[in-house]
Amino acid sequence: MSFVLVTNDDGVHSPGLAALADSASDLGSVVVIAPDRNRSAIGHALTLDSPLRADEIRSGVFSVDGTPTDCVNLGVHGLVDGRPRLVVSGINLGANLGDDITYSGTVCAAMEAALMGFPSIAFSLDAREFTFDDLARSSAVVTYLINTVVSIGLPSGIFLNVNIPSGVISGISLTFQGKRHYGEGIVKKTDPRGRSYFWIGGGENGFADLPGSDCNAIAAGHVSITPLRTGLTSESALQLLADWPLSFTMD
């Protein structure tokens, strides 16, 4: 049996996850395997030091006390019968643009699937809350892209990071990964007992104005489709470093 595997990092009860699963159902059987709580910004973390528990909270929907990467592994390696024909992650609440992708559990779930050889797409909505209209527009984008990927396929080791603007969608663009400008990274406070504590991620974020980037596309009201690869080696740097005098030996 083949199925579409659906996951996210916002948690199994996210409205974005439900919308993604509903859109994917046009392709046939859908299995949802998602974290039991919000695991945003957990990146490509894999649980190795404790067992995982997966509860089927309703037919075909599993809640896992682990990460998005864990969920993809369980979906591929035996939690359910069959193999995924496609893995989709999201719809994340909040964009995953530029440098965000290195932190994103949503994007890294798609990366994990691509590492295993499955076509995969990460979907994110550039909004602070889900609205009926945004979810309806996002679902239309999801339906279009998953059907396109299933029909045409993706190159080996390539997966898609898709960001959807809030409000009216004015276009769709193929983009490259842009550059985020983060605000004050740490907010320091003092608790009632006089001890310092810290919040990571304070301040407003901006982005570099790079035509053709995912950040610029979202700013223009376009859906951004960025093809990413699982191999991180820089071929140009390999050529550059080839002239280094690498003759180190141990005495």
pLDDT score of 201: 64
- Note the pLDDT tens digit of each residue in 148-196: 999 999 999 999 999 999 999 999 999 999 987 766 667 888 989 989 8
8 A C-beta contact, residue 89 and residue 42: no
Tokens of residue 192, six digits: 């009632």
- The answer, yes or no, to whether residue 56 has pLDDT greater than 90, is yes
Domain ranges of the chain: 2-180+209-231
Is residue 37 very low, low, confident or very high in pLDDT (cuts 50, 70, 90)?
very high
Mean pLDDT (the chain, rounded): 92
Q: Give 2-180+209-231's CATH code, choosing from 3.40.50.720, 3.40.50.300, 3.40.1210.10, 3.40.50.1220.
A: 3.40.1210.10
CA atoms within 13 A on the CB side of 41: 5
Q: Which amino acid is at 84?
A: P
The confidence score (pLDDT) of residue 186 equals: 76
Contact assessment for residue 224 and residue 214, using Cβ atoms and an 8 Å cutoff = yes
**DSSP assignment, residue 102?**
G
CB 199 within 8 A of CB 149: no
Identify the CA nearest to 165 among candidates 244, 226, 218, 237: 218
Asked whether residue 110 carries a pLDDT value surpassing 90, the answer given is yes
Averaged pLDDT, 111-124: 97
Q: Is the whole-model pTM more than 0.85?
A: yes
The predicted-structure confidence for 40-55, as pLDDT tens digits, reads as follows: 989 999 999 999 999 9
Percentage of the chain with pLDDT > 70? Answer: 96
**Strand 54-58 to strand 61-64: parallel, antiparallel, or no bridges (unpaired)?**
antiparallel
Which tops the pLDDT comparison, 182 or 97? Answer: 97
| Confidence tier at 203 by pLDDT (50, 70, 90) | low
What pLDDT score does 184 carry? 62
Q: How many Å apart are CA 82 and CA 85, to the nearest integer?
A: 9
Tell me what the mean pLDDT of segment 95-110 comes to: 94
